[in-house]
């Protein structure tokens, strides 16, 4: 008999099909985050949950679902799950690393290029019928090639962003909890430095740290005021790594030139101030949103769950 799995969302059709080959599926939320009471009801007597980065899986939920043994996150970041609470209850937590590295790095570049070269602003202008032809001073942006890129958090995604920067002939600085090995630094042409130095020198500061209490508001008033007035902040990590109000203030007062944001503090809420600024490009958390990547993420979820139900250690276990 197939094992029962509760899903908070309906995933891509191919994923649902492949999951359905292994498990009996119960989807609670469709395209929307499910109501808490519906999720709790469905989880009664169930061992396994597939959730996404948009759902908070907190200690109260775990307590209310005593049979829950494995939470399989459809995403690499797992700050939506209280892993310490899961540890205390012996619940396994898994994620989907590696497969979304390139998609997220690509989107980081989409943000960097579009905000520096004013691509989205230009698109808006044409659609509003405000383009009156080529002119020498019209909509000048900033070069990306040959500039200094500051990468904060040099894990898989940070490294993939650095690899792309080599093609743009950029100088690459990075700050990370763990310093890379010398040969990796050479391969990526990346130079380690402290955060203050990175902020002072980078033309583009790109964030790639996981979210945790340590990285909460890592970029606030003080850090933003250390950036160049001509610099751009790019965030494809997690919204709360940046103090959003401090960022709004820095943008309004011209302390930095602009920002490219894929993530926000209270998604899907995006402050009006950000929505009104021309020098900001906003993307609705699409870092991993390609057909290929989401399918690959679904396959990692299957690998984790099939291993668990065979009595093996899931390959992408987050907790010890």
The whole-angstrom separation of Cα 143 and Cα 231 is 11
The structure tokens listed for 132 are 């009156």
Nearest approach in angstroms of CB 210 to ligand DGY is: 8
CB of 19 to ligand DGY, least distance (A): 18
Q: How far is the CB of 51 from ligand DGY (least distance, A)?
A: 12
267 tagged catalytic: yes
Say whether 163 is catalytic: no
Smallest gap, in angstroms, from Cβ of residue 68 to ligand DGY? 21
Q: Which residue lies nearer to ligand DGY by CB, 94 or 288?
A: 288
Contact 43, 68 (CB under 8 A): yes
- The full 3-state SS of 227-286, as one line of letters, equals CCCCCEEEECCCHHHECHHHHHHHHHCCCCCEEEECCCCECCECCHHHHHCCCEEECCCC
Please, which residues have CB within 8 angstroms of residue 245's CB and are 6 or more apart in sequence?
A: none
Q: Give the contact letters, 41-60, x = binds to ligand DGY (CB under 6 A), - = no.
A: ------------x-------
- Cis geometry, peptide bond prior to residue 64 (ω within 30 degrees of 0): no
Active site residue 238: yes
Work out the angle at residue 60's Cα, subtended by the Cα atoms of residues 54 and 64, and round it to the nearest 5 degrees.
Answer: 105
Shortest gap between Cβ of 53 and ligand DGY (angstroms)? 5
Cβ atoms within 10 Å, residue 139: 12
| Piece of the chain touching ligand DGY by CB under 6 A; list 32-40, 61-69, 73-81, 212-220 | 73-81
Q: What is the DSSP letter of 198?
A: H
Positive or negative, the CA dihedral 219, 224, 228, 231 is: positive
Judged by CB under 6 A, which stretch of 36-44, 72-80, 214-222, 303-311 contacts ligand DGY?
72-80
| CA-closest candidate to residue 60, choices 45, 43, 46 | 43
* Closer CB to ligand DGY, 201 or 293, in the complex: 293
Other beta carbons within 10 Å of 291? 9
Which 247-276 residues touch ligand DGY, going by CB under 6 A? none
Scanning 69-77, 136-144, 243-251, 275-283 for contacts with ligand DGY by CB under 6 A, the matching segment is 69-77
Identified catalytic residue from 9, 118, 238, 294: 238
Choose the stretch contacting ligand DGY; rule: CB under 6 A; options: 75-83, 132-140, 161-169, 302-310.
75-83
Residues 273-312 that bind ligand DGY (CB under 6 A): 287-288
In this structure, are residues 256 and 284 in contact, taking their beta carbons and an 8 Å threshold? no
CA distance linking residue 169 with residue 146, whole number of Å: 5
For the chain, report the end-to-end CA distance as a whole number of angstroms: 29
Which stretch in 70-78, 145-153, 220-228, 245-253 sits in contact with ligand DGY by CB under 6 A? 70-78
The catalytic residue among 18, 265, 267, 303 is 267
Single out the residue of 7, 19, 50, 76 in contact with ligand DGY (rule: CB under 6 A).
76
The residue count for binding ligand DGY (CB under 6 A) is 7
Contact pick of 100, 234, 242, 305 for ligand DGY (by CB under 6 A):
100
The answer to whether residue 77 forms part of the interface with ligand DGY (CB under 6 A) is yes
Q: Are 110 and 236 in contact (CB under 8 A)?
A: no
Residues marked as catalytic: 238, 267, 285
- Interacting residue ranges for ligand DGY, rule: CB under 6 A: 53, 75-77, 100, 287-288
């Amino acid at each position: 008999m197939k094992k029962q799995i509760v899903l908070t969302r309906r995933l891509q059709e191919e994923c649902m099909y492949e999951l359905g080959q292994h498990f009996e599926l119960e989807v609670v939320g469709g395209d929307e985050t499910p109501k808490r009471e519906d999720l709790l009801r469905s989880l009664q007597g169930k061992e396994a949950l597939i959730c996404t980065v948009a759902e908070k899986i907190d200690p109260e939920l775990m307590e209310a679902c005593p049979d829950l043994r494995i939470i399989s996150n459809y995403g690499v970041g797992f700050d939506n799950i209280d892993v310490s609470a899961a540890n205390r209850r012996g619940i396994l937590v898994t994620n989907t690393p590696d497969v979304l590295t390139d998609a997220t790095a690509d989107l980081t570049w989409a943000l960097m290029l579009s905000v520096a070269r004013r691509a989205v602003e230009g698109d808006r202008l044409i659609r509003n019928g405000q383009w009156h032809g080529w002119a020498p001073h019209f909509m000048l942006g900033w070069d990306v090639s040959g500039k200094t890129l500051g990468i904060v958090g040099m894990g898989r995604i940070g490294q993939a962003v650095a690899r792309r920067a080599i093609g743009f002939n950029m100088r690459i600085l990075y700050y990370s909890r763990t310093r890379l090995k010398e040969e990796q630094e050479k391969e990526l042409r990346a130079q380690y430095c402290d955060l203050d130095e990175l902020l002072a020198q980078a033309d583009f500061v790109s964030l790639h740290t996981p979210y945790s209490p340590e990285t909460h508001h890592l970029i606030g008033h003080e850090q933003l005021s250390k950036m160049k007035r001509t610099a751009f902040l790019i965030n494809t990590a997690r919204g709360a790594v940046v103090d959003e109000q401090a960022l709004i203030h820095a943008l309004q007062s011209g302390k930095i030139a602009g920002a490219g944001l894929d993530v926000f503090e209270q998604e899907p809420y995006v402050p009006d101030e950000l929505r009104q600024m021309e020098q900001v490009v906003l993307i609705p958390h699409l870092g991993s949103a390609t057909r290929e990547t989401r399918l690959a993420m679904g396959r990692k979820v299957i690998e984790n769950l099939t291993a668990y139900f065979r009595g093996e250690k899931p390959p992408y276990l987050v907790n010890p």
